Amino acid sequence: MSDIKIKVQDYSGDVQELEAPTDMGLSLMEFLKANEYPILATCGGMALCATCHVKVEEGMDSLNDPGDQEMDQLDLLPNAEFNSRLACQLRLHPDMDGMLVRLAADEE
């Protein structure tokens, strides 16, 4: 079974647990959009707009390090913290099972 469980906290504070496939090559951004979360994804997933900014409340250690482009964008954000990531740069992976992310783009 390639599905994992991810918890998502939206802007109203509600947390929903969702099943996410890891065998479709989806990014977390694409998965959140498909589940009707309000992610603008202005740049289409190129780490250029930060509208998919999330804070990884649990499971940060299971993620790959951000690349240069993502770091550039995160560096610009006034509300970024140590656990900030751009969802478009996180490809869904079995290691992410149990991750909790909080939507953060609207905080700006």
Partner 1 sequence: MIQTDICIIGAGPVGQFAVFEAGLLKLRCHLVDALPQVGGQLSEIYPQKPIYDIPGYPTIKAQELVDNLTEQIKPFNPTYTLGERLDTVEKTATGFNLKTSDGTEIDCKVVVIAGGLGCFEPRKPPLKEIANFEGKGVSYMVKDPELFRDKNVILAGGGDSALDWTIELSKIAKKITLVHRNETFRGAPDSAEKVFELAKEGKINLLLKSNLESISGNGKLNSVKIKGADKSEMEIEADYLIPLFGLSPKLGPIADWGLSIHKNQIEVNTTDYSTNVPGIYAIGDINTYPGKLKLILCGFHEAALMAQSAFKHIYPDKHLSFKYTTVNGIESF
Gap between the Cα atoms of 28 and 6, Å rounded = 10
Gap between the Cα atoms of 61 and 50, Å rounded = 21
Among positions 6, 80, 92, 101, the unique one binding partner 1 when judged by CB under 8 A: 80
Assess 13 for contact with partner 1 (CB under 8 A). Answer: no
Gap between the Cα atoms of 58 and 96, Å rounded = 10
Q: Alpha carbon 88 to chain centroid distance?
A: 7
Q: Please choose, out of 5-13, 20-28, 44-52, 91-99, the segment that lies near partner 1 by the rule CB under 8 A.
A: 44-52
Assess 78 for contact with partner 1 (CB under 8 A). Answer: yes
| Residues at the contact surface with partner 1, assessed by CB under 8 A | 38, 40, 42-43, 46, 48-51, 71-72, 75-80, 105, 107-108
